[in-house]
Amino acid sequence: MTRLNFLTAILLVASFVTIQAQVGVKLGGNLSITGGYFQSEEGETAGFKPGFQGGLFYNLNVSEKMDLMVELNYESRGTISKKDYTMNFPVQDPTTGTVLGIGQYDVSQEANSVQSYINLPILAVFGGEKLKYYVGPNVGFLLSGKADFTRTIDITLADTPAGTIETDLEEVDWQDYDSFKNIFTTAPAEDGDFLNSVMVGINVGAMYSISENMFLDLRVSQELTDSTNDHYDNSIYPSDDFSFESRSDSDRNLSFQLSIGYKF
C-alpha cells in the first residue's frame, strides 16, 4: 500500500509539472558592444554591432507569482573597436636595423569582431498574464571568434614622412594563436587564446504577450566576466623605455536583444 501511494504521488507530481510547464522557441536580433568601462585609454572607442539569436526555452510555473524559465540559445555577439592615436617610438632602418631616431607614429586601426556563443540563461519570471518581467544569470560558451582587422601607421621622422605600414587581415581567428599573434606585438611567446571560452553574465528583461501563444521579449544581457585574456591587455602607448606595459582592464560585452517567441 505504501509503495502504491508513493507511485501515485510521483504520477501526480509528474502530471502537475507537465500541465504547468511550457516549451517554445524564440528568434530575434541584437545589438552588442564590448568595452572596458571607464578603463579605455585616449584614442580608444567602440561601436555597436548587429547580430542575431534564437533558441529553445522551458518555462515552469513554480508558484502563483513566479515562473522559472530555462533557455538554450545560440547568439552572435561582437563589437566594432577603433583606435586612433599618436605615439613616439624609435624608427629603424629596415635594411640594417639601425635606429634612425625617435619618430611620430600616427596609428589608425579597426577590428570588426563577431563571437558565437551557446547561452544557458536561468530566469526568474514575475508578473501578470500580459506583461512579465524577469532576471537571472547567463552562462555562455564560446563557439567561435572572428574579426576583420585593419591598421594604418604613418611614420614621421624629424618632420619628414618616413613611411607607411598597412595591415589588412580578414577572418582573423581569435582562437588561433598563429592567426592573430602578428597583430599584438606584445603577445606572449607561449600559445594562448585571445578570447576567454566561458562568459558569465546577467539578464534583465520583459515579455509582452501578443496572443495566447506568441510574445515579444526585450532583454539586456550584461557580461560580468572579462571577454579577453589578460595576456593581451597592454597599453597602446609606450612607456619611457619604449615597452608596452600591461594594464588591468576588463572587456565586457553588453547586448540588447529583441525576440519573438512562441509557446507550444
Cross-strand partners of 47: 80
> What pairs with residue 117 in β-bridges?
75, 142
pLDDT at 13: 47
Domain total in the chain: 1
Question: What CATH number does the domain containing 206 carry?
Answer: 2.40.160.20
Note the pLDDT of residue 248.
Answer: 78
Determine the length of the chain.
Answer: 264
The answer to whether 149 touches 171, Cβ cutoff 8 Å, is no
Q: Domain range holding 231?
A: 2-263
Mean pLDDT in runs of 10 for the chain (264 residues)? 52 50 94 89 95 96 91 96 96 92 97 97 94 97 96 96 94 89 79 90 97 96 92 89 87 96 94
Here the contacts of 192-197 (C-beta below 8 Å, separation 24 or greater) are 192/229, 192/231, 193/229, 194/145, 194/228, 194/229, 194/232, 195/115, 195/142, 195/145, 195/227, 195/228, 195/229, 196/142, 196/225, 196/226, 196/227, 196/228, 196/229, 197/141, 197/142
- pLDDT recorded at residue 246: 86
In the numeric block, the cell 510555473 is attached to: 61
* pLDDT at residue 199, rounded to an integer: 96
Whole-number pLDDT of residue 16: 47
The pLDDT, as a whole number, for residue 4 is 54
The reported pTM is 0.85
For 14, phi and psi rounded to 5 degrees? Answer: -65, -40
